[in-house]
Amino acid sequence: MSTDHLMLSVSGCRGIVGTSLTPQVISSFAATVGTILTQSPDLKRGQRPIVVVGRDGRSGSPMVRDAARAGLLASGCDVIDVGVAMTPTCGVAVDVFNAHAGIVLTASHNPQQWNGLKVLLRSKGKNAGILGSNACAPSKALADSIIARYRTDGPCLVDWTNLGDVDDAAQEAIYAHAGRAAQALDKLKITKKIEKAGFKVVLDSVNGAGRIISPGWLEAFGCKVTRVGDDDSGIFPHTPEPTADNLVFLGKLVKKAKAHVGFAQDPDADRLAIIDERGSYIGEEYTLVLATMALGELGALKKGQKLVVNLSTSRMIEDVAAKYGCSVVRSAVGEANVVEMMKTLKSPIGGEGNGGVIWPAVTYIRDSLGAMGLVLGLMAHMKKPLSEIVRTIPAYAIVKRKVECAQRAEAQQAVEKIAEYFSDEQVDRQDGTWVNFKDRKAWLHVRASNTEPIMRLIAEAPSTDEASSILDEAARVISK
């Protein structure tokens, strides 16, 4: 068994099926999570932990599901299987079924051969959440404890009299998520306007989990939906990350169909990229910005509220938040880090610039369903084409590069070099090195990826040339 490319991080466990991600690895990791749950002092005597299990639909997921379920059952957990389900659907299921945790079997946007286990936990205490939506990715401390246990003591398995049971609840989970997202829109008093608009939508679910719930949900709001990537083959019709290069075909389809908007989900449907009515890819960075605009325009943002984004998110969000009297606080990269800060600050919305919108009215997990609803609500309220709405937002250029790393130590050395070189600027070290060039309205972020064996270099500036120049300078510093 090779453990090459087995990634253990705050995002869970990811690897290549059949090499680093084997049935043994999967069951052991799941059983380790189960062991931590069964040993929790919060459990009552004789009580079994309940764990929701869902998967993103890729071809390797049935094997991963069976191995994960086996590990959970063997550690004494009861399993509620919600089948092929969006990551946010699994989060909502943890809430409504009063489960102790969830495990989503997904490698998100990673290529076909990858898969993984993403852990969701319920929060406790004063920052547990609002509206009962408190399931979220574990904090770094909790994630580290799971990883440490997996690497050292491993799981404790129960005897045959204490094995867990399995219940299937796919339909219940779908209805719960769809209902909560619809209810959140209803409270904004925008549902009727969306229905009246009769939007034409082209939806690419990349044959992933989003195809289960999203088309019907959009149609329930009066949208005419053209479905793409909507079969159950488990094979991605194109590279699954929703980037401009991977969605050229979707832009052409939107234009040909004379649609108002195109939506593209990643395999587990927690991220959303958007195509405007001209067929132009407007970028994942705009997804959270447009969702925030929707809340602002619909009167759901209050002056003085704080929104939370990660360090790699475009400063567009700061410009838009200021329009409605709100400010922005930045966290380390990683959904759990954003959510932890959102709960502390009671943020009405937050997320990441990769198309991940976290709207607590629905769930504390990135959710493409709620994001689509907010974008449609904004379009219906403003009664303008999406391209015109986008033109009202101050524009910046983000340039991203990846550098493969044989060892994580390489990335750490690069991070230290950048921090030292740019020490005269505003430097944030909570996640790699983030440099704010205030006078240039630009920033640089250099960090090791949590999910891939790479180092990420990201720069934002008023122009592509300037952002590229910043990255060129950073590359020279790193190579010295």
In a domain, 432, yes or no: yes
* Per-residue model confidence (pLDDT) at position 245: 94
Q: Is residue 260 predicted with pLDDT exceeding 80?
A: yes
In a domain, 34, yes or no: yes
Q: What is the pLDDT of residues 201-247, one digit of tens each?
A: 999 999 999 999 999 999 999 999 999 999 999 999 999 999 999 99
Q: Identify residue 418 by its one-letter amino acid code.
A: I
* Per-residue model confidence (pLDDT) at position 365: 96
In a domain, 49, yes or no: yes
In a domain, 343, yes or no: no
Q: Is residue 130 predicted with pLDDT exceeding 50?
A: no
Q: Is residue 138 predicted with pLDDT exceeding 90?
A: no
Residue 480, H or E segment: none
In a domain, 309, yes or no: no
Whole-number Å distance between alpha carbons of 261 and 202: 7
User: Buried b vs exposed e over 167-189: b needs ≥16 C-beta within 10 Å?
Assistant: eebbeebbebbbebbbebbeebe
Q: What is the pLDDT of residues 88-114, one digit of tens each?
A: 999 999 999 999 999 999 999 889 999
Q: Is residue 129 predicted with pLDDT exceeding 50?
A: no
In a domain, 437, yes or no: yes
Total number of domains in the chain: 2
Mean pLDDT over 377-382 rounds to 99
Task: Give CA torsion, residues 73, 115, 11, 470, to 10 deg.
Answer: 180
The pTM of the full predicted model, rounded to 2 decimals, is: 0.92
Q: Residue 130: which domain range?
A: 7-170
In a domain, 159, yes or no: yes
In a domain, 325, yes or no: no
CATH assignment of the domain containing 471 = 3.30.310.50
* Per-residue model confidence (pLDDT) at position 30: 98
* Closest CA relative to residue 283, chosen from 264, 309, 259: 264
Q: Is residue 304 predicted with pLDDT exceeding 80?
A: yes
135 pLDDT tier (thresholds 50, 70, 90): confident
Q: Is residue 329 predicted with pLDDT exceeding 50?
A: yes
Mean pLDDT over 27-42 rounds to 95
Q: What is the pLDDT of residues 414-433, one digit of tens each?
A: 899 999 999 999 999 999 99
* Closest CA relative to residue 1, chosen from 10, 12, 15: 15
Whole-number Å distance between alpha carbons of 202 and 113: 27
Decide: helix, strand or coil at residue 37. helix
End-of-domain residue from the set 107, 140, 170: 170
131 pLDDT tier (thresholds 50, 70, 90): very low
End-of-domain residue from the set 146, 170, 194: 170
Mean pLDDT over 48-74 rounds to 96
Q: Around Cβ 405, how many Cβ atoms within 10 Å?
A: 18
CATH assignment of the domain containing 27 = 3.40.120.10
End-of-domain residue from the set 129, 146, 170: 170
* Per-residue model confidence (pLDDT) at position 132: 44
